[in-house]
Amino acid sequence: MKVLIASDHAGFELKEQLKQRFQADFDFEDLGTFSNESVDYPDFAHKLAEKISDKSYQYGVLICGTGNGMAMSANKHADIRAGLCWSKEIAALVRQHNNANILVMPARFIPAETAYDIFETFFHTDFEGGRHQRRIDKINISHGE
């Protein structure tokens, strides 16, 4: 499966670990960052979210220190549902109920083993549809007339 992945400096190490761990089953396109040097998370979140919003890719993974900056930035884009996950239970629910298309993880608050569990769960769990689709349809807001 093709997956976009990106991080800021706080998520760089975990990004590299995830790529290595899942390289056999996933075709990663890495949008950076490519070192521990300090960068601004919105630059990476927007780059990745744009490619999912325009349907070039179906799924992405974003990692920063808390995950919040990446999630906030990615969720500004149309049709993006970026879900912050810190356990595999949340990862299952964000797919089943929210049909998340971007997995966001907080590198500074979860060990790599937990991140691996979250990643596997996210990509092996299907959306349940039904009442959850109705709720997803209510997420977007329109401004003006």
Residue 124 annotated to the active site: no
- Contact assessment for residue 122 and residue 100, using Cβ atoms and an 8 Å cutoff: yes
| Nearest-angstrom CA–CA distance, 99 and 93 | 9
| Nearest-angstrom CA–CA distance, 49 and 59 | 9
Catalytic site residue from 9, 46, 77, 97:
97
Nearest to 101 by CA among 140, 69, 145, 62: 62
Binding footprint of ligand RB5, residue count (CB under 6 A): 8
Nearest to 51 by CA among 40, 41, 61: 61
Q: Binding ligand RB5 by CB under 6 A: which of 3, 14, 31, 64?
A: 64
Exposure string over 7-18, b if 16+ CB within 10 A, otherwise e: bbbbbbebbeeb
Task: Name the one range near ligand RB5 by CB under 6 A: 44-52, 60-68, 86-94, 116-124.
Answer: 60-68
13 or 50: whose CB is closer to ligand RB5? 13
- Pick out residues in 15-44 that bind ligand RB5 (CB under 6 A): 41
Task: Name the one range near ligand RB5 by CB under 6 A: 58-66, 80-88, 109-117, 123-131.
Answer: 58-66
- Does 65 participate in binding ligand RB5 (rule CB under 6 A)? yes
68 or 133: whose CB is closer to ligand RB5? 68
Tokens for 20, please give them. 């290595």
Task: Name the one range near ligand RB5 by CB under 6 A: 46-54, 64-72, 82-90, 112-120.
Answer: 64-72
- The Cβ of residue 135 has, within 10 Å, a number of other Cβ atoms equal to 12
- Does 133 participate in binding ligand RB5 (rule CB under 6 A)? no
Catalytic residues: 97
